[in-house]
Amino acid sequence: MGCDGGTIPKRHELVKGPKKVEKVDKDAELVAQWNYCTLSQEILRRPIVACELGRLYNKDAVIEFLLDKSAEKALGKAASHIKSIKNVTELKLSDNPAWEGDKGNTKGDKHDDLQRARFICPVVGLEMNGRHRFCFLRCCGCVFSERALKEIKAEVCHTCGAAFQEDDVIVLNGTKEDVDVLKARMEERRLRAKLEKKTKKPKAAESVSKPDVSEEAPGPSKVKTGKPEETSLDSREKKNNLAPKSAATNESFSGKAGKPLCGATKRSIADSEESEAYKSLFTTHSSAKRSKEESAHWVTHTSYCF
């Protein structure tokens, strides 16, 4: 039954025991979380965004995911909670001056220090490599270490001065407990936004249905209630009452001015009792009449050039 040629089998080759659980390298896991996009698995490059659960993405990858939702991707579950570009926040990161990147390792003979990070905390100076807890503010997108927020307690952002609350602080790449808390906050926030939209819709409908009273008159409008026959009779009576009044006012005005109303016979100014100086202003006066010799010459247009 085998074992030819002097081979001696060992116990682990003959007896199959339970398989050992493979342990994930913590350093490799931290590098994958803090240096690579959760959606596309590419190296993080600006602009970098973060979701409401504290995961890091490339903005280009998020836009492609939102535009191409029909494609079933293996990593699409990691961004299933992102419904629009408003659900992510663009991060304002501070560069690490000690980070050289791939500049010093062009030949491949240099050891890459995995503890060296591209970004640091602008307040304390801790490197964002996963060894320290980092968080960002939803209101402005500034990134700080959790130690900086605890040591310097303030309700204003340390970099841009924007006011924030406790709900605006989101932990980056947190533990399962942190993710559960952030998910509960996210659901509450979205429910609150839906309720606000529902309350705004009936208010907008009421404003449209109301008549535009302000356009008609600045004061309050008065609406008369009654039968249409009564209102028509009242309007006729008012017209009849106003007619004699208007006639009387016209007569008084004509008497004062001394001029006839339209439709009456016209009188010449020569027959009027005005002064001679006033009558001389008109062409009907005797001084304005000229003989044929004084009339205009056929060459000229005026009667004064003879």
Q: Is residue 123 in a domain?
A: yes
Q: Which residue bears the tokens 């590098």?
A: 31
Residue 139 near residue 52, CB atoms below 8 Å: no
Predicted local distance difference test score (pLDDT) of residue 98: 84
On the 0-12 / 13-18 / 19+ scale of CB atoms within 10 A, 249 is exposed
* Residue 134, domain extent: 24-96+113-198
Task: List alpha helices for the chain, DSSP H.
Answer: 11-14, 26-35, 59-67, 146-151, 176-209, 213-216, 228-257, 276-279
64 inside domain:
yes
Q: Name 121's Cβ contacts closer than 8 Å, sequence gap at least 6.
A: 94, 128, 132, 134, 143, 144, 145, 147, 148
pLDDT given at position 247? 47
Flag whether 278 is in a domain: no
With respect to residue 147, please indicate whether it lies within any of the assigned structural domains: yes
Does any domain span residue 136? Answer: yes
Name residue, tokens 């002064």.
275
Query: Which pLDDT tens digit goes with each residue over 96-116?
Result: 988 877 665 556 566 566 667
Residue at 6 is within a domain: no
pLDDT at 188: 93
Domain count for the chain, please give it: 1
Q: Evaluate whether residue 79 is within a structural domain.
A: yes
Identify whether 8 is part of a domain. Answer: no
What average pLDDT does this structure show over 265-280? 71
Q: What b-and-e string marks burial along 137-169, b requiring 16 or more CB atoms within 10 Å of the CB?
A: bebbbbbbbbebbeeeeeeebebeeeebeeebb
Assess whether pLDDT exceeds 70 at residue 87. Answer: yes
pLDDT tens digit sequence for 26-52: 888 888 889 999 988 899 999 999 999
What digits encode the pLDDT tens for the residues 205-241? 677 666 554 444 444 444 444 444 455 555 555 555 5
Q: What is the pLDDT of residues 54-63, one digit of tens each?
A: 999 999 999 9
